[in-house]
Amino acid sequence: MHTKIILLNIIFTMFIQNMVYAKSYETLTFEIPQEKENIIEVIEFFSYICPHCNNMELYLQEWEKNIQDNIILKRIPIANNHHSQILQRIYFTIEELGKTNLNIEIFIELSKNKNYFKKNKEIKNWLIRNRIPIEEFNKIYNSFSIETKIKKYNNLVKLCNLTTIPVFIVGGKYLTSPILAGNKYNATIQEINKLIAKYCIEKNIPSINSNIN
């Protein structure tokens, strides 16, 4: 009986992963306000301990190199346990320091170097290797502004009622993900580009050229 249940779970998981959705995006029932006029925000909800988010990051890195100035990629790490809360706070701290280029390094540290950032020593060693002043990092890490940002984005995560990650929201209005895009990371990037173009037409924002396919 136990074996049958396991097999059914495997079959169900494979079925979900291979589902073809009628639509490659969804429209939110509410609209997230954009912080600046004529700026298109692409929000990514992700987790450092999600293998799909890890794989998606390489595509995002390439995509971000080619986007125009009026497109902003805003990463929001999700925290649902103590470990992911630490990683979330680390990301918002390096963001405050203007070091978002180190985002990929966190993924590498976790997946390849098996440094899970669970102990102060592990965090400290990583900071030293990446030439981040420890005192400055700690000051921001424990600051009120980071606490405020965490509460703000945790509330947004709840509001969006996410059922999977990674998920992308374009212009605060359109949602897509690798699952909706046929379980392909490159197709997800293409869908993001299409939604940016759609949003620009709707909002009368100058057209955007994107060379990422």
User: pLDDT over 70 for what percent of the chain?
Assistant: 86
* CATH classification code of 19-78+163-213: 3.40.30.10
Range(s) of the chain covered by CATH 3.40.30.10: 19-78+163-213, 81-161
* For residue 62, pLDDT beyond 80: yes
Query: pLDDT, tens digit, for every residue of 90-112?
Result: 999 999 999 999 999 999 999 99
Rounded to an integer, what is the distance from CA 61 to the centroid of its chain? 12
pLDDT attached to residue 208: 56
Residues in contact with 199: Cβ distance below 8 Å, sequence separation at least 6, in sequence order: 40, 170, 171, 173, 174, 205
Which fold is adopted by the domain 81-161? Glutaredoxin (3.40.30)
